[in-house]
């Protein structure tokens, strides 16, 4: 039995570009640190892949507090890309990640094309870095917003990064804060992305009515959690049908996944892998529960491989036959 085959004999392996994952469940950037923080709570070797917090060229303190607030069915965060910077990431964090027996997706953010190119160029030769995910959609840093919402800027960025990312799988993480997400998805694919991850958080805000002030010091933050799942699912469906499916580019679907049904929904609309973020704060073992549930579902429906779910959404019962 290889690492991707479950005890029930079902093949749980998926491929994101050249990267083989032992199963489709990945943790999401910014919700699990750099790996060492979660290792005591969750056997990371059970994951398909681990995604790091965004890494930038310079170390960043991020936004002042309060930078997190709970909302109905979700949370708003305005962390502002607090991170150790590429030098300390390579010296202190990556060696720990290398010990964890899980493919590492390193998430990269920046203020300019040269920022991204420098950081990605330093990461690409390192074998532990199996994939690089570009965060072009963080709503808290204004330069990031430009790349994530403007197809021309995004194509230019991805093309420039592709020049230096020759070995690692290149994933572009899409922003949902656009009118037409298929335009940015297409720009990322044309720029040379091996895969798309979708989606980042939706811009939102919360008000303290007693003080009549915004709750977050940053005024706005990114909404994540169950509240965004139907929106994320629809965007994944659209991008799979109109861009990623026809181009043969895999999608890592994410946004509000809490349980196995959520994960199966994302795979049916076209995701090859599924990310879990906000749910990790409530229960760090969520990925294991989700995996067990997916396997049980596959067994009940007599599937032999998890890949048989990808894009297999059926038409509504009363839809007229095609043709």
Ligand X SMILES: Cc1cc2nc3c(=O)[nH]c(=O)nc-3n(C[C@H](O)[C@H](O)[C@H](O)COP(=O)(O)O)c2cc1C
- Residue 272: cis peptide before it, omega within 30 degrees of 0: no
Asked whether the beta carbons of 34 and 186 are under 8 A apart, the reply is no
* CA-based end-to-end distance of the chain: 43
> In this complex, which beta carbon is closest to ligand X, that of residue 10 or of residue 26?
26
Beta strands in the chain (DSSP E): 14-16, 19-21, 25-27, 50-51, 68-71, 74-77, 104-108, 129-135, 169-173, 195-198, 202-204, 207-208, 213-214, 221-224, 251-253, 273-276
Residue with smaller CB distance to ligand X, 189 or 228:
228
Q: What is the DSSP code (8-state) at residue 165? A: -
Q: What is the DSSP letter of 227?
A: G
User: Shortest Cβ distance from residue 194 to ligand X (Å)?
Assistant: 17
Nearer to ligand X, 11 or 283 (CB): 283
Quote the CA–CA distance of 223 and 228 in Å, as a whole number: 7
Q: Least distance (Å) from ligand X to the CB of residue 7?
A: 27
Residue-wise over 229-246: b if at least 16 C-beta within 10 A, else e?
beebbebbbbbbebbbee
Alpha-carbon distance values, 32 to 51, 193, 234, 274 (Å): 8, 24, 26, 15
Nearer to ligand X among residue 70 and residue 296 (C-beta): 70
Of the residues 32, 120, 138, 142, only one is catalytic, namely: 138
Could you give the CA distance from residue 38 to residue 260 in angstroms, rounded to a whole number?
21
Q: Which is nearer to ligand X, 6 or 194 (CB)?
A: 194
Instruction: In whole angstroms, give the CA distance from residue 170 to residue 119.
Output: 13
Establish whether 142 is a catalytic residue: no
Q: Which residues contact 110 (CB under 8 A, 6 or more apart)?
A: 56, 57, 116, 119, 143, 144
Nearest distance from residue 166's CB to ligand X, in Å? 22
The residue number whose beta carbon is nearest to ligand X equals: 30
User: Least separation, in Å, of the C-beta of 76 and ligand X?
Assistant: 9
Residues near 101 by Cβ (< 8 Å), separated by ≥ 6? 44, 45
CB closer to ligand X, 10 vs 78? 78
- Nearer Cβ to ligand X (10/109): 109
The footprint of ligand X (CB under 6 A) covers 28-31, 53-54, 75, 77, 79, 81, 107, 135, 138, 173, 200-201, 224-225, 228, 254-257, 276-279
Q: How far is the CB of 199 from ligand X (least distance, A)?
A: 6
d(CA 37, CA 52): 11
Indicate which residues carry an active-site annotation. 138
């Amino acid at each position: 039995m290889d690492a991707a085959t479950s005890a029930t004999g079902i093949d749980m392996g998926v491929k994101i570009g050249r990267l083989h994952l032992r199963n489709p469940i990945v943790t999401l950037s910014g919700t699990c640190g750099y790996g060492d923080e979660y290792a005591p709570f969750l056997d990371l070797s059970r994951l398909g892949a681990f995604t790091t917090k965004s890494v930038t060229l310079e170390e960043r303190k991020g936004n002042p507090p309060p930078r997190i607030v709970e909302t109905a069915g979700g949370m708003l965060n305005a962390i502002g890309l607090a991170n150790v910077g590429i030098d300390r990431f390579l010296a202190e964090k990556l060696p720990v990640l290398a010990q964890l027996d899980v493919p590492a997706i390193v998430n990269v953010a920046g203020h300019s094309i040269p920022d991204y190119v420098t950081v990605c160029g330093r990461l690409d030769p390192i074998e532990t870095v199996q994939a690089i995910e570009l965060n072009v959609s963080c709503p808290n840093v204004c330069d990031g917003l430009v790349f994530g919402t403007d197809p021309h800027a995004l194509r230019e960025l991805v093309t420039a990064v592709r020049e230096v990312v020759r070995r690692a799988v290149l994933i572009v993480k899409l922003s949902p804060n656009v009118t037409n997400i298929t335009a940015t998805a297409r720009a990322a694919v044309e720029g040379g992305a091996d895969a798309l991850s979708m989606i980042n958080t939706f811009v939102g805000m919360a008000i303290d009515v007693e003080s009549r002030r915004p709750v977050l010091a940053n005024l706005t933050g990114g909404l994540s959690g169950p509240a965004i799942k139907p929106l994320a699912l629809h965007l994944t469906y659209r991008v799979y049908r109109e861009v990623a499916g026809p181009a043969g580019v895999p999608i890592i679907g994410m946004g509000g996944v809490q349980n196995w049904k959520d994960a199966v929904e994302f795979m049916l609309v076209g995701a090859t892998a599924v990310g879990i973020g906000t749910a990790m704060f409530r229960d760090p073992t969520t990925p294991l529960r989700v995996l067990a549930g997916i396997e049980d579902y596959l067994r009940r429906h007599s599937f032999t491989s998890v890949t048989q779910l990808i894009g297999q959404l059926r038409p509504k019962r009363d839809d007229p036959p095609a043709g």
